[in-house]
């Protein structure tokens, strides 16, 4: 337990980032943001500045802290890597498909709501097809993305156990660059959102 307390600061960063993400979404109405369907007549420069900071830091911090803390908790729950991956899939991927199948696709199709990953005017079959492929996710996009980040840290768990933190940091940077360069346009299962940039529109 004492070793676990050493990462309390990461848990604090995660909590602060979560609050910041909520504030970020609350401010989007007053920002010129293409991902928000409604906006004020004029964007606020102050809000624009804050949203740029939040978008570039807090969202990524929340996701990576969540993935790191989950991977490190494997030791305390006595799970193997396979069991950890399956457990993470149950908590993230299954809710994505259940919520998508019974709420997102029916609602967006019935009201013909335009959103990323759903072709305009798409019917139910097309909606379910893109939902199953992880393209049409709307606000559920973070579930797939968080799953991939958790998986990365789970697979790097042996290095974390041996405290090879520089190696973990280097691998994280390399994987992020690979995602930016080679996977930025892969919309399936939100792989492109592992390390999104301004050019990504999926």
User: Tens-digit pLDDT profile for the chain (202 aa)?
Assistant: 444 456 788 888 988 988 888 888 888 888 876 566 667 777 788 888 888 888 778 877 887 888 778 777 766 667 788 888 898 899 999 999 999 999 999 999 999 888 878 888 899 999 999 999 999 888 888 889 888 888 887 888 777 767 777 887 888 788 878 877 888 788 889 887 776 554 444 4
* pLDDT value at residue 3: 45
Task: Extract the runs of DSSP E, i.e. beta strands, from 39-106.
Answer: none
CA-wise closest residue to 10 among 58, 69, 87, 95 = 69
The torsion angles phi and psi of 122, rounded to 5 degrees, stand at -65, 145
pTM: 0.74
pLDDT of residue 130: 93
Residues in the chain: 202
Spatial CB neighbours of 66, under 8 Å, sequence gap ≥ 6? 14, 146, 149, 150
What distances in angstroms separate CA 8 from CA 4, 65, 156, one per listed residue? Answer: 7, 11, 20
């Amino acid at each position: 337990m004492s070793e676990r307390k050493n990462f309390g600061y990461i848990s604090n960063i995660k909590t602060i980032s979560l609050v910041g993400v909520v504030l970020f979404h609350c401010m989007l109405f007053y920002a010129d943001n293409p991902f928000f369907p409604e906006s004020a007549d004029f964007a606020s420069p102050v809000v624009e500045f804050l949203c740029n900071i939040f978008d570039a830091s807090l969202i990524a911090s929340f996701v990576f802290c969540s993935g790191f803390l989950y991977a490190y908790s494997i030791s305390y729950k006595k799970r193997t890597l396979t069991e950890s991956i399956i457990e993470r899939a149950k908590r993230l991927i299954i809710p994505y498909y259940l919520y998508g199948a019974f709420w997102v696709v029916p609602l967006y199709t019935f009201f013909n709501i335009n959103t990323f990953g759903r072709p305009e005017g798409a019917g139910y079959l097309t909606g379910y097809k893109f939902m199953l492929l992880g393209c049409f996710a709307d606000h559920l996009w973070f579930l797939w993305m968080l799953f991939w980040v958790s998986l990365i840290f789970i697979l790097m768990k042996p290095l974390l156990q041996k405290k090879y933190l520089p190696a973990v940091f280097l691998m994280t940077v390399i994987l992020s660059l690979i995602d930016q360069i080679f996977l930025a346009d892969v919309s399936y299962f939100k792989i492109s959102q592992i390390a999104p940039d301004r050019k990504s529109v999926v």
